[in-house]
Structure 1
Amino acid sequence: MKKSLSVLFALLAVALTVGTAFRFAPAEDGYQVGDKAADFKLKNVDGKMVSLAGNAAAKGYIVVFTCNTCPYAKAYEDRIMALNQKYAAQGYPVLAINPNDPQVAPGDSYADMQKRAKDKQYAFPYLLDETQNVARAFGATRTPHVYVLQRTGQDFKVAYIGAIDNNTEDANAATQRYVEDAMSQLLAGQAVQTSSTKAIGCTIKWKKKA
């Protein structure tokens, strides 16, 4: 009897440990709205490392997974620049991240990123996710794919995930501007009404398995 009870308690302890691990482990499909985003350090086109915690003045970030080569990313490039111009001064700068493997997507190399940022005069960091670990952690699948982060104490929590707006071809023709609406609500101290939409763009070019 004592042996049976010992076995039972041991199994319960294992179950509780496993359950705790599952509860606190990151979701396999990436962040959801309300999740805390883990900090990262990625190389900018100027050679410097950039992290979420590195900007003490940031109230949050507009994180955009994008690239040089995707037609959708190109179509949204000016809109991404406009978002930074509008919201960086209000504490929400853009962080653009290129997750593509240049072996799969020629034109998305670090050198090509540097050239693109210079030619377009990016006023925000353009970061290389060389290992693709950051894109996987976020759950990014497309370029562009947007994550609006809001600072809560020392943490950055996800407030919005998805598309920039509802027109991939013409910014002026968009009837719903998801990121701008989310930003207006956050800056007004309100909850984001539409906190998740479907990102429309090219699939991220993942590294080929050896």
Structure 2
Amino acid sequence: MLVLAVSFFAACQAPKTEEAKEEKKEEKTVAMSTEAPAAEGYKIGDVATDFSLKNIDDKMVSLADYPDTKGFVVIFTCNHCPYAKAYEDRIVAFDKAYKEKGYPVIAINPNDPTVQEADSFELMKVRAEEKGFTFPYLMDEGQKIYPQYGAKKTPHVYVLQKEDKGLVVKYIGAIDDNFKDASKVTEKYLENAVNALLEGKEVEVETTKAIGCSIKTAKA
């Protein structure tokens, strides 16, 4: 019985130990970098400009490549961050459900790979293959796009809707209210926002606080 009890305790502690290791790696990386510079970025109602970034298939991707969509879900995410990893399956599920409705996911890695090697372009390809990404996964080479948006965390979500004046920002923030356990989510911020747009309604919760890892930039 004692052996069983010890084995059970060890099994229960394993996930916490792995999470602690990830957090320590994150702390070490932060020491080598600086947080993303403070930037105003987009606000609700602003018109987002298009971009052209390299996808993991080595092709350039821009929002103009999708003329038939109703909008986009731009998500700044990465390979290494525990928060980003926790949301990968949920992002894939969302894309599968909503790209057919007109709101595909466009994922962008904003991190400097010279600071965080796990976020290199080659490892982006590996991660996307491992997790079965169904959406473009783009590298923000030169880190020019995330400051335009004002992204500060991975993951950080921006919902854009096509209107006569352009791509209008309709939601900014988190995916939902529980990164640790999808089964315990009580507020699906992203889904609620897109559902409202699909129904021709105003988004009730337009902004939330993005919870995640800081975007990594090289120290000057």
Instruction: Give the structure-2-normalised TM-score.
Output: 0.81
The answer for the alignment partner of 2:206 in structure 1 is 195
The answer for the alignment partner of 1:207 in structure 2 is 218
The answer for the alignment partner of 1:101 in structure 2 is 112
Separation in 2, partners of 1:178, 1:52 = 23
Query: Deviations along 1:164-184, whole A, 9 cap, x unmatched?
Result: 000010111011000010011
Separation in 2, partners of 1:55, 1:116 = 24
Partner secondary structure for residue 123 of structure 2: helix
Q: How many residues align structurally?
A: 183
Q: Is the 8 A contact 2:47 2:165 kept in 1?
A: no
The answer for the alignment partner of 1:111 in structure 2 is 122
1:83 paired residue among 94, 101, 107? 94
1:163 paired residue among 150, 162, 174? 174
Partner secondary structure for residue 216 of structure 2: coil
Deviation at 1:28, TM superposition (A): 4.5
1:48 to 2:59 alignment: yes
Query: Deviations along 1:75-127, whole A, 9 cap, x unmatched?
Result: 01111111101100001000000000111112100000011111212110000
**CA RMSD across the alignment:** 1.2
Of structures 1 and 2, the larger Rg is shown by 1
Identity %: 55
Question: Can you give the 5+ residue segments of structure 1 that lack an aligned partner in the other structure?
Answer: 1-26
Instruction: Give the structure-1-normalised TM-score.
Output: 0.85
2:161 paired residue among 137, 141, 150? 150
Query: Deviations along 1:111-144, whole A, 9 cap, x unmatched?
Result: 0001111121211000000111100000000000
Deviation at 1:154, TM superposition (A): 6.0
The answer for the alignment partner of 1:9 in structure 2 is none
In structure 2, give the amino acid aligned to 1:83.
F
Deviation at 1:153, TM superposition (A): 2.6
Deviation at 1:208, TM superposition (A): 2.5
The answer for the alignment partner of 1:122 in structure 2 is 133
Partner secondary structure for residue 211 of structure 2: coil
The answer for the alignment partner of 1:36 in structure 2 is 47
The answer for the alignment partner of 2:151 in structure 1 is 140
In structure 2, give the amino acid aligned to 1:80.
I
Deviation at 1:60, TM superposition (A): 0.5
